[in-house]
Structure 1
Amino acid sequence: MPPPYQGGGYGQGYPQQQPGYGQQPGYGQQPGYGQQPGYGQQPGYGQPYPGQQGYAGQPTATLPGGPPPGWGGAQPPPPGYSAPPRRRGPIVIAIVAVLALAGGAFGVVTWLSGRGGADTPAAAVQLLAQDLNSQNLIDAASRLHPGEAQLAADAGDVLVDELVRLNILKPNAELGLGTVEFKDLQIDEAAAEQVRDDLVINKVTGGQIVSQQGFGDLPFTEEFAQRAFPNGMVPTTNAPTTVNVSDIIAQTGEPLRLASVRVGGEWYVSLFYTAADYGLRESGAQWPAQPVPAVGTDSAQAAVQETVQAILDQDMRRLIELMDPAELQVMHDAGEVIIESAGAGEPSGAKLLELETTETTVRGHTAVQLKRAVIEADGSRGTIERDGDCLVATEDGGAPQRLCSADLLDSIGDAGDPTLERLAPRIAQALFDVQVVTNEVDGKHYFSPGQTMISLFGSALGVLEPQDITALLDSAN
């Protein structure tokens, strides 16, 4: 591994891009992380963090349509109207996610990382707004936190590469999903909250947010477009939506909050921290005074083994300690609140005594796959081993029991579709080929939830072939 960037207060930096990382889109849809107490599902992330419940983190449906009829700007609400409860997530979060998806179309490469920072927290937001207004999505993506952008880069690469391989998108496709403009954006720098030396919550007090979302002219191949849209493609780009910041303030009772994080001496806009900040406020909590430190292991295999054991023990503190600080420093910084919200879990009593894995390199990270594990529970010890497309479980003194991909197919039953039945064995095999991805930071190894989800996503698409897509579309039609 090359030496990591030092993330000035944002943990231990993020690793430089390794050969094979590919293009780096801005910051788009992120794979899921499980559930994280008090945060809820965060827009653009996919699955929520482990244990997370609460904050939904998505814009309220009424916002794009504006305030109630007759209520605009400084005008009072109509008679009998009662203000809605505080919104759980700002539209800015969703718009930054759209930016990331749109930015992914332009292949933001690694050399942009660290080149788009600003001298102040507010300047990072203003530069992002300026780049969006000029539709300079490459520069706009560089204003987002480099570590978060790197994760999105890999997710975008996997998605586009697989869609091109499956003959859904044309080669060298640029995948844009909309545009966003921030007009006359006003930031009250005097009201900014200095959470820590490296974390500031900006207050957006005025302006407009104009977004236009949709698939527009996606670069589908002719073969796919003809089968998927036999009657011709219907334009899917929505009409522009304008949101007045003043209307949002009138509804929520406070300015929009947008986090800036300092990395390597420069400030970047952070979607992770913005979502976490709203999650904390929704739960009535404050940012903890001290983060939960990152405490890694000496090997990738040990990082996975200790992560599994922390889950078995319901040990939220150890689980956070083992999370990749380059990818999820926000989990460390909000860790004490997460731990308190999770409460004292009930350990399973199971112990992962031994773990043997097969290691491979995935996008510059070390990925491990189960080879053999020894587990002890309720005074009994058992072994699980990988044998081709089967898992063999043997309890001390007992006969081996095999679980194979064919057994999974039997449990699914008749799919009723010959194409799905033909794909089922490959899908089952992909489940057996799960890889857990780790990351090395400052010589220590950590569990990488985001990279693991990207690998799972890529594996699921990887079992398909172009003729499978054709057959599925023909079956649907």
Structure 2
Amino acid sequence: MAAAGVVGVLAIGAAAFGISTAGDTGGADTPEAAVQTFLEAVDGEDAIGLLESVDPGERESLRRALDGTIDTTERAEITDDIDLDDIQGLDMTVADVDTTVQRFTDDMAGVDLTAGTVKANVAMNDLPFGKTVRDVLGDSTEDPDPASIDLRGVRVMTVRVDGSWYVSAAYTGAEALRRSIDPEPPLPDLGADVDPSGAATPEIAVQELAAAFNRGDVGAMIDLTSPARAAVLHDYRSMLVEQADMGPDGAKFSDLETEARSVRDDEATVRVTAFTLRTGDGAERYEYSLRDGCLRVTTEFQSVIETEDGEEQVVPDTRTADSCDPGETPDTFLYFSFGLFDMGGTGLTFDVVREGGRWFVDPLSSLATTVVNGLERTPLERLKQTAQAFAGADWLFYSDEFWEQCGIEKPGSDIGREDGLAAVDKCMAKFRKFDLYEEESSTATTEAGPN
């Protein structure tokens, strides 16, 4: 749990604090100093210092994604005037840290934390939320209990880039995963030379990645990622292949159409202009279909409805959501994965690079590009409603069908939290909805929440 907590701090810190005002300076003379710099930035809520302590290769993609995120949340009034020098409402304290160092290569080392704690206090009323969220939270929101992470046993991975040492969130996460497995796999040969297959063209790289996904071939997927920019995947390839579970639901891509754009000497962008993704089996099945700039999601499931005479009746049900329908509400927006499937219809976007004459996908940069594209094109009103739902306006998560079937008018986002939750309780008293899962000879039912 401690390792997961520190990985969370790394990811959240780089995310919440990583804004374009950070420069390209930073780095430390030793692995220990790199971790100390990172923890000092956490302790001081120093946004700029924290970002500068992260591996520059990871920092660039995080910065690009988060520039777009902050810009969008500011425009949607979800956040308001975040002060990077002192994040309002957040008080972090790092204390009593001791470390030892294990050198794995000339350019990679693990810093093992043998003692130390990170404590966090949050003042909800001081957090830099904008009007969209404040309208739901009100002015007297109760603060969460202080959080504390014991750092003992955590390994923070560091890398040397151009002579300076930085914290690597990617390698720290990979090491946390390796050390959490029982029995623990051996440490891989970090930094070893690899000769992955790649592809002849940018579009073929993306198409072969989808084909490998359909086969559940994690090794082939890794072989299509950049050896330079996704080195962590290649270093931990054996472990990831062994631990991978693509799931029993038969997720498959089909009808994939791609278009290469911005092809330069050694870089290209490939946009997925159309696809169908089918997943799920048994009682629940999902189909995601991107066509003509619109993402349509179809969900097939089973419901249990209580009839007037008190009997339970199992009925098949289908729900659809369309990103091009301006009337879609936050519950259907959740199907679109918050920008991973671009709400503007530009689809998934992959950044592809040429190394050694072959083309490879850059996964982190691709994720950043897709998120930015999606958020930029998502209607602000939809973002506002979704933020309000997560801020406590839970009733916004429930579909129009939910309210129609129980005969209660769906509350708007401007209703008070107490009245909104009372409406949900009233509706649930009239209508119950269950997910059904067949398990050999018995049938289990679990109460369904929103969606």
**Taking structure 2 as the reference length, what is the TM-score of the superposition?**
0.61
* Counterpart selection for 1:285 from 185, 188, 206: 185
Change (3 A) 1:108 1:177: farther
Q: Which amino acid aligns with 2:292?
A: G
Query: CA separation in 2, counterparts of 1:216 and 1:447?
Result: 42
Q: Which residue of 1 aligns with 2:207?
A: 305
Query: CA separation in 2, counterparts of 1:130 and 1:467?
Result: 38
Q: Which residue of 2 aligns with 1:469?
A: 384
User: In 2, are the aligned partners of 1:357 and 1:371 still within 8 Å (CA)?
Assistant: no
User: In 1, are the aligned partners of 2:259 and 2:273 still within 8 Å (CA)?
Assistant: yes
Q: CA RMSD in A?
A: 4.5
Q: Which residue of 1 aligns with 2:69?
A: 159
User: In 2, are the aligned partners of 1:93 and 1:275 still within 8 Å (CA)?
Assistant: yes
Query: CA separation in 1, counterparts of 2:41 and 2:209?
Result: 40
Query: CA separation in 1, counterparts of 2:185 and 2:297?
Result: 49
Query: CA separation in 2, counterparts of 1:369 and 1:314?
Result: 20
The 5 A counterparts of 1:190-201 are 192-201=101-110
What percentage of residue pairs aligned between the two structures are identical?
21
* Counterpart selection for 1:234 from 136, 141, 151: 141
* Counterpart selection for 2:113 from 181, 204, 209: 204
**Number of equivalences:** 343
Q: Which residue of 2 aligns with 1:368?
A: 271
Q: Which residue of 2 aligns with 1:437?
A: 350
Q: Which runs of 5+ in 2 are unaligned?
A: 277-288, 301-316, 337-341, 386-410, 421-451
Higher RCO (Cα < 8 Å, 6 or more apart): 1
Query: CA separation in 2, counterparts of 1:310 and 1:414?
Result: 28
User: In 2, are the aligned partners of 1:102 and 1:178 still within 8 Å (CA)?
Assistant: no
Residues 1:183 and 2:95 aligned together: yes
Q: Which amino acid aligns with 1:318?
A: A
Residues 1:324 and 2:226 aligned together: yes
Quote how far apart the aligned CAs of 1:328 are: 2.8
Query: CA separation in 2, counterparts of 1:421 and 1:242?
Result: 37
Query: CA separation in 2, counterparts of 1:133 and 1:435?
Result: 37
SS in 1 for 2:176: helix
Query: CA separation in 1, counterparts of 2:292 and 2:255?
Result: 23
User: In 2, are the aligned partners of 1:405 and 1:425 still within 8 Å (CA)?
Assistant: no
Quote how far apart the aligned CAs of 1:309 are: 2.4
User: In 2, are the aligned partners of 1:209 and 1:244 still within 8 Å (CA)?
Assistant: yes
Q: Which amino acid aligns with 1:261?
A: V
The 5 A counterparts of 1:269-284 are 269-283=167-181, 284=184
Change (3 A) 1:177 1:366: farther
Q: Which residue of 2 aligns with 1:448?
A: 362
Q: Which amino acid aligns with 1:321?
A: D
Query: CA separation in 2, counterparts of 1:280 and 1:422?
Result: 37
Query: CA separation in 1, counterparts of 2:255 and 2:104?
Result: 41
Q: Which residue of 2 aligns with 1:21?
A: none
User: In 2, are the aligned partners of 1:301 and 1:357 still within 8 Å (CA)?
Assistant: yes
Q: Which residue of 1 aligns with 2:128?
A: 219
Quote how far apart the aligned CAs of 1:342 are: 4.7
1:109-167 CA distances to partner (integer Å, 9 max, x unpaired)? Answer: 4632xx21122211211222333344433122211112222232123222212212223
SS in 2 for 1:193: strand
SS in 2 for 1:94: helix
Query: CA separation in 2, counterparts of 1:123 and 1:287?
Result: 24
Change (3 A) 1:103 1:259: same
Residues 1:263 and 2:165 aligned together: no
User: In 2, are the aligned partners of 1:170 and 1:221 still within 8 Å (CA)?
Assistant: yes
